[in-house]
Amino acid sequence: MSRGQSQPLQPWVWLGGPMLACVVATLLLAVPLKVFGVTLPEPVFAMVPAFAWAVIRPSLLGPFALLLLGLFNDLFWGGPLGLWASSLLLGYFGALIARSLIMGQSAPVLWGWYAFLTFLAFAAAYLFSLFDSGVVPNLTATLLQFAVTAALYPLAHRLIDRFEDADIRFR
């Protein structure tokens, strides 16, 4: 979007749109399709808005939306209830705490922060799974899922850019 085209900031656009996109993307990548004997990756799409919402516009609605997205992931993938909700909220609050350091940085630095906070969320999910089941989760699968989720940073960057285009405080 160009700087000349601004959109009003509506909560249903900045919260509902990314939530719906995360749910649809999760459903699409859950299709049991194998390409060259390998199944599709299962990234945690909700990490994108968890990072972007904390950076661009922290509000009271963001954590509740992440709670819903996390509970959707738990119910959809059959994990323990609250696993992804708590992990996403941990990543969100980590970004919220470091927001003053993150704002105004270049894209590679933002990607590093996103990867760090994604790692923090995945480490928490790994430990929560370990404590809940008493069985060590597959570390290779967890690291692969982390890598695919960390590669989703361009989507978070796009969401941040859309906000900057719409918010007159950034002009």
Cβ–Cβ < 8 Å for 3, 171: yes
Is the pLDDT at 1 greater than 50? The verdict is: no
CA atoms within 13 A on the CB side of 81: 2
Mean pLDDT within 32-47: 84
Q: What contacts 116, CB < 8 A, 6 or more positions away?
A: none
Q: What contacts 64, CB < 8 A, 6 or more positions away?
A: none
Q: Give the three-class secondary structure for 112.
A: helix
Strands of 6-63, DSSP E: 34-35, 38-39
Mean pLDDT within 23-35: 88
| pLDDT for 167 | 52
Domain-by-domain residue ranges, the chain?
A: 11-170
Domain 11-170 in this protein, CATH class: mainly alpha
Is the pLDDT at 2 greater than 50? The verdict is: no
pLDDT tens for each residue of 94-125: 999 999 999 889 999 999 999 999 999 999 99
- The token duo for 171 is 């002009």
Q: Could you tell me the pLDDT band of residue 154, with boundaries at 50, 70 and 90?
A: very high
| pLDDT for 9 | 64
Q: What contacts 124, CB < 8 A, 6 or more positions away?
A: 86, 87, 90
Is the pLDDT at 13 greater than 50? The verdict is: yes
Q: Could you tell me the pLDDT band of residue 81, with boundaries at 50, 70 and 90?
A: very high
